[in-house]
Every structure is written in C-alpha cells, then in structure tokens.
Chains A and B, each alone.
Chain A
Amino acid sequence: MKPKQIFEVALGVVTSVGGFLEVGSIATAAQAGAMFGFQLVWAVVLGTLCLIFLIEMSGRLAAISHHPLPAAVRERFGFHYFAMPLLAETVIDLLVLASEIGGVCLGLQLLTGVRFFYWAVPVAFIIWLLLWRGTFSIIEYGVSILGLTTVVFIVAAAKAHPGFHNIGAGFLPTLPGDHKAQYWFLAVSIIGATISPYLVNFYSSGAVEDKWSEKDLVPNRLTAGIGMSFGGTISIAVLVAAVMVFHSRAISIDTYEQIAMEVTAPLGIWGYRIFGIALIIACFGAALELSLDIAYVYAQGFGWRWSEDLQPIEASRFTLVYTIFIFAGCLPIMFGIDPLKLTLFSMAATALILPLIVFPFLIIMNDKRYLRNHTNSVFANAVVCFVILLAAAMAIVAIPLEILGGH
C-alpha cells in the first residue's frame, strides 16, 4: 500500500471507531451488562462480526459497480420489491433517529440540568443546519473523530479490573436462570443496534461520493475489519463497565441517566462530564448519518440528484427528505417519550427488518453483472445468512414476549 492509502485506512479506521457507538449500542450493552453480567458479550461479538462483512461488502459494491445499495436493489429487484425495504427503513430510521436525538438531549440534560424534552427542537435545528450548510467530509470526519471520546468507556472498564477470563466466558452463549424473555430481547436489541442498516447504506453512499474504484478494495477491507473490531471493543467495554458498576451491586437500569454511573464510579466527576460529552457527540454523529441515509435511500431509489456536497438548490428533493425526517424525528422526544424505552424497542425492531435489506444485498453481491470477479465468498455468504436469520428468528420470538411482559 502507498503512504496515501495507509493514511486513508488510518482515517477510515478512526472514523469507523468514532462513528460506531451511538445511543442504541450504549443503551443495549449497558442494560445487558446490568441484568445478565457477561452473559451477552457473544451478542456484541456476533453483531460486530456480521457488520464487518456487511460494511466490507457495501464498500466493494460501490467500488466495483459504482452503485450505492438502494439504487442496486431497485434496479435488480424492481419497484415491487424496493417498496418493502423503503417502507421498513423509513419507519425504523425514523424511530432510531428519534432515539439518537433523545440521546443528544439526555447528554445535554446531564451537563445542564435542563430536562431533555426542552432540547429536542434546538438539537433537531442544529442537525438540520449542519446538513444544510455542511459538506460530506465535515460529517464523515469531523463528527466521527470527535466521537473518539467514547474511548472513555474502555478506560472506565479497564479501571474496574473485570478480569479477562470473565469477559472471555461471555463469548460463549449461556442461558440465564430466569428473565429468559428479557435475555433474548436484549440479545436481539444488541444485534439490531450493532448491525444498523443505515451504517451499510451510509458507507456505500460515502464510497460513491468519494468515487472509490478497484484500487480502494484493500483499504476498504482493512477499514471494515479494523474499524468495526475497535468499535465492537468499545461496545464490549460499555457492557463490562455496566457489569462492574450495576450487576455487581444488583442495581437495575431504569433510566438513561443512570448509565453515566458506569463512567462516574471509576473516574469521578470528570467521568460524568466526559460521559455527557461523549453521549452528545456519539448520538449527534449518528443522527447526522441517519438523516443523510434516509435522504440517500429516497434519492437513489427514485433517481434524484443526490450528494451532501451539492448545494440545497442543486438537490431540492434530497434536502427536503432529510428536512422532513429531522423535524419528524424530534417529535417523540419533544412530547417526552422515554428515550431508553424508545431506543430498546427501535433496536429490536431493526433486527426484525434486517432480512428484508440484507438478503437482496447478498444476491447482488453474488451477481457478476455488478461485481464482475469480486463476488462474495461462500464463507462471507454463510456468516451473514446465519447471523441475520438468527437475529430475525430471535426478534420474532422475543419482541412479542417482551411486549406481553414475559420472563
């Protein structure tokens, strides 16, 4: 690799790490650690492994075929099929966007003491303003690099001395004695939070925006592998810190604000402040990516002009989509819906729609008309199929049980 490519990989890894953690991964990992100790580490590992494959595939699709994923799905499967993931992504992205806005508002509540719902409209306005005036590089690099503040969870977990053999034991699935329904619901939520379809779409659209070609395949593979592995490590750190602070003292997490204790207990008042800042930055970055993603999906699916680097007057429909979504996304938080419950539900619902998005993606990734000699290996197909089917099956069973209040 040339020095320029090494720099690009390093930048890609940093942005992947900074952009990995968001409201869903923090909430689900913390809740899992508090309730079930190290028993759900395997769900983070499984989700991260599948995400590595999916991210690498979406970058490869963009580099070889120059098609972002939604455009390829519409062309390959027609509008009849495209309408289904479009509808599903619209609903789920809106729920997740509301959760992310809720995360930013909670971070602001932690730092200022002003209740979270007062922040919903100002936060939505700032997200919109940055998309309206900003460029793709500002969003991709600026916010993601600031997202490295989430490394504070690794520091907090390390300071709590959890013991590596305990974490290692969590890599193998084991069933809890009771609260089985909640165990499976959390496992599904963790996988849903980790394999967010918006990350895959955003990555492929970004690769098309950056005009990737065949020479970018190796940097793509390294960015996906190293970046997502580090991101998964931070998620595990959130879970481990929750075990040490909550599970060991038999404290349950009922509100999002409690999660701050994970960092406050080992690092003191500065830990509390850094947690607030990290939560704001991580959720703000994810909200930007989600808003852009839904605009990408509509614009690419319907063949409109799209690019975050275009001025609003050059891509009116593209800008209209994210404008509507941002302001619709702030409504649930403005009306005071509990961000923690909203987040956990959104993440589990994400797992439910994964097959709709991932299976056509796999078919395209095995189509020589799009990928030429760079189609998927049998191993990559098998790993992704296994994880997605497992997550969907768990979601079908666990979501109704959780809603009915099963144990």
Chain B
Amino acid sequence: MSKPQKLHLIRDVLDKLLVDRDNVPLGRVDGIVLLLRGEQTQPRVVQIECGMVTLWRRLSIRWADRTYRIGRRLGLRRQRPVRVDWSKIDNIGRELTLDVLAKHSPLLAGERWLLERVIRHIPGNGMKKET
C-alpha cells in the first residue's frame, strides 16, 4: 500500500483515473466524501464517489437534482453514485489503484448493463460462441 503522507485532495485525488489490481480502468474520482465529527475536529476523508449525478452536482446542484428526478420518472434505476471506501485505495500515483477486481466491481455496472442489453446482441462483437 502506497499513499503519500501529504495529499492535495483536488490535485492528487479528484478527477484521477481509478484502476483495479490488473490496471483495468474503472472510471474517475467524481467526488470526495468527507466526514465531520464535531466542530473541533478536522474533517476526514472516508470515501470517494463515482457517477454522473456527482458530476452533475459539481456543475449545478439544482440541475443535478432535476436530472435525477427526470431519470427516475423515466425508470432509470442505476443513477445513484457508487461510493468506495478510502481504505480500498491501494496506491495513489498517476492513477488510483483500488484493491478490487473490475469484473466484480459495482463501478462497472453500467458497462455490464450495456454489454448484456445491447452489445452482445450485435453480431461480430468479439464474444466467443459457447460450445
């Protein structure tokens, strides 16, 4: 595990690429979750957040909430951002390496949904036929 002693959260963490143990891209750090335990204590970084709603909220909270509500009316169920515990970050360098495997990660739920619902039904997609 390699995390620098001093971190600049905006420069070193926010918007950085997330990869799994095998260096497979999982997305980017769209938000950082801080915990405040009273007025006298320093805030602690507890999680990082990934998802379109988080990105929208960085641009405009009002628009993000509206888009979220419209999405729910249209039946979109996978809008909630995915939160990853800070302890799951193995290494902070050019990328942030997570101690997970891509194929089990909820960060790639959208990719898997698209694969199952659309891509696998188009011929020539590279999927080997089961024998």
Contacts and interface: CB of A to CB of B under 8 A. Distances in A.
A and B associate in one complex: yes
Interface in A281-336: 302-306, 311-314, 316-317, 319-320
Interface in B17-61: 17-18, 24-28, 30, 55, 58-59
B26 A312 contact: no
A287 to B, nearest CB: 20
Nearest to A66: B94
B14 interface: yes
B74 interface: no
B119 interface: yes
A71 interface: yes
Contact of A316 (B17, B18, B114): B114
A302 B119 contact: no
Interface string A73-90: 011001110110000000
Chain A's interface size range is: 20 to 34
Nearest to B26: A303
A171 interface: no
Contacts of A159: none
B111 A311 contact: no
A133 interface: yes
Interface string A133-163: 1000000000000000000000000000000
A66 to B, nearest CB: 8
Interface in A255-305: 302-305
Chain B's interface size range is: 20 to 34
A1 B30 CA distance: 44
B106 interface: no
Contact of B25 (A74, A79, A80, A303): A303
B15 interface: yes
A79 B114 contact: no
B110 interface: yes
Contacts of A66: 94
A311 B126 CA distance: 5
B101 interface: no
A371 B59 CA distance: 30
Contact of A80 (B26, B27, B59, B119): B59
25 contacts: A71-B17, A74-B15, A75-B17, A78-B10, A78-B14, A79-B55, A79-B58, A79-B59, A133-B124, A302-B27, A303-B17, A303-B18, A303-B27, A304-B25, A304-B27, A305-B24, A305-B25, A306-B25, A311-B125, A311-B127, A312-B119, A313-B119, A316-B118, A317-B111, A317-B114
Q: Which 8 residue pairs of A and B lie closest in terms of their CB atoms, listed nearest first?
A: A311-B126, A303-B28, A316-B114, A312-B125, A303-B27, A316-B115, A316-B119, A303-B17
